[in-house]
Amino acid sequence: MKRLIILLITVITVFSCGDELEYNTPAFQGNREYGLWIAEYTNASINNNGVLTIVGSNNVETVELIIPTVAVGRYILGNVNSREARYIDAEGTVYSTNNEPDESVSVYPELGFVEIDEIVNGTFTGSFQFLAFDEAGLNSIGYNEGVFFRVPLVSGSIPNGEPTCEEAQEGAETAQMAYEATFSTQLEYIDSQAFVTACNNYVSALEIQMNICDDPDGSIQMLIDDLNNCVFPCAYAEQNSATAQVAYEAATIGNYADTCDAYAAYLQEQITACGDEDGSIQAILDDLDCGDDDNDGIPNIFEDFDGDMNLDNDDTDGDTIPNYLDDDDDGDGVLTIFETTDNEGNPTDTDGDGEVDYLDDDDDGDGISTSNEDADPNMDGNPDDALDTDGDGTPDYLDDM
């Protein structure tokens, strides 16, 4: 039974790698199973994802050291495809640090490392040790005191500007702050797209940190797992729809369309994030009427004056056209859209009689109907050309003097 202790015991047969390497350039050798193993040839390659593989072979057996980035540093081997040491024997059996040992052999994961000490002129110098298991996890091959010296790069190219571990950690911290800002308690709404984008950026930064700095205790991977593939949380969707509902219920004529559309959008977002098994959210959506069918600036829901939810029986001017389809609700010759609201979105009531102008056929309360005060001489519905007899800047149909 072979255990991790093979990586830690004092080498019985002491050899000087420094002496060997002084005369063998490039070189790759190590203490394998208590005996010196020397590669007859060695090379390095970098794939399109920046993964570095260093190979040593004696034409019978091969050792491959795989790390996720091309940078000086120590890389702890573990159950990650881009952090692996492999030994292939003469029969082609592959022993890998990513193969877990059978419980009868060891209940603990077996760790090793690859350390890059120097990258010079396209060559790599460093050290390694590992214990690799076959696929069944019953047999192992161990190397310690392994070194490689000026192994040449034969495929791929060394990336420029590879960040240091400290820089990678700072990048992850910056990405974390940007991510957390997307769901700050100071925000009225949490933007789902901004959340997902910032979350994915944070995941990428954490992966870079993990590749460069290692993750021996799994804490970085745990952070990534906790982000749940950056799916927008149901709790945030419910929070958004609740906030939108409050705004919708307090809406005025002037802002109703926008608040209604927002409420509908956040309800749909809630369905996507949380589901809607009983159809209750969809029922609310179906009951919403955000429209203004006659485009007069008065949303349909505000033209149901008797509150019976029947828009067809509300006809202020008695012209047989219900208000929600009538662009001149009071029939005074001035289109409703020009009598609707002030600059703050509130309905105007010029004469203060409690009846807003767009429903009042005598806007100034002077006893003369608006239609008889030349409110729209050219009859286009726009009162910009309204008669102003006394020239005081207030048209006659709004001037009770």
Q: What is the pLDDT of residues 51-77, one digit of tens each?
A: 899 999 998 999 999 998 888 888 888
Residue 111: which of 123, 97, 121 has the closest Cα?
A: 97
Kindly state whether residues 33 and 80 are assigned to the same domain. yes
Cβ atoms of 384 and 375 closer than 8 Å: no
**Is pTM beyond 0.75 here?**
no
The CA radius of gyration of the chain, in Å to the nearest whole number, is 38
Cβ atoms of 274 and 248 closer than 8 Å: no
**The pLDDT of residue 109:** 57
Pick 330 or 107 by higher pLDDT.
Answer: 330
| Alpha-carbon torsion (143, 144, 150, 156), positive or negative | positive
Kindly state whether residues 130 and 12 are assigned to the same domain. yes
Number of separate helices (H) and strands (E) present in the chain: 7, 11
With 90 as the cut, is the pLDDT of residue 189 above it?
Answer: yes
Domain end point (choices 134, 155, 176): 155
Kindly state whether residues 241 and 204 are assigned to the same domain. no
- Whether 197 maps to a domain, the answer reads yes
Kindly state whether residues 33 and 173 are assigned to the same domain. no
Indicate the number of domains in the chain.
4
- Whether 52 maps to a domain, the answer reads yes
Instruction: Give the confidence band of 345 by pLDDT, cuts at 50, 70, 90.
Output: low
Kindly state whether residues 126 and 198 are assigned to the same domain. no
Distances from the Cα of 2 to the Cα of 33, 48, 207, 299, angstroms: 10, 36, 33, 79
Kindly state whether residues 101 and 53 are assigned to the same domain. yes
Domain end point (choices 155, 189, 207): 155
Instruction: Give the confidence band of 106 by pLDDT, cuts at 50, 70, 90.
Output: confident
Instruction: Give the confidence band of 268 by pLDDT, cuts at 50, 70, 90.
Output: very high
Kindly state whether residues 277 and 340 are assigned to the same domain. no
**The pLDDT of residue 15:** 40
Pick 122 or 294 by higher pLDDT.
Answer: 122
- Which of 196-200, 216-220, 297-301, 375-379 has the highest average model confidence (pLDDT)? 196-200
Kindly state whether residues 179 and 272 are assigned to the same domain. no
Kindly state whether residues 137 and 70 are assigned to the same domain. yes
With 90 as the cut, is the pLDDT of residue 301 above it?
Answer: no
- Whether 160 maps to a domain, the answer reads no
Cα-flanking dihedrals φ and ψ of residue 361, to 5°? Answer: -85, 5
Range of the domain at 379: 293-401
The label of the residue with tokens 């059996």 reads 93
CA distance 139 to 324: 82
The label of the residue with tokens 């050899």 reads 15
Domain end point (choices 132, 155, 178): 155
Average per-residue pLDDT in the chain? 85
**The pLDDT of residue 161:** 66
- Whether 342 maps to a domain, the answer reads yes
Instruction: Give the confidence band of 6 by pLDDT, cuts at 50, 70, 90.
Output: very low
Residue 118: which of 31, 54, 32, 24 has the closest Cα?
A: 54
Kindly state whether residues 116 and 22 are assigned to the same domain. yes
- Whether 25 maps to a domain, the answer reads yes
Residue 52: which of 29, 75, 79, 22 has the closest Cα?
A: 75
With 70 as the cut, is the pLDDT of residue 22 above it?
Answer: no
Q: CB under 8 Å to 93, separation ≥6 — which residues?
A: 134
Kindly state whether residues 71 and 151 are assigned to the same domain. yes
Kindly state whether residues 128 and 67 are assigned to the same domain. yes
- Whether 228 maps to a domain, the answer reads yes
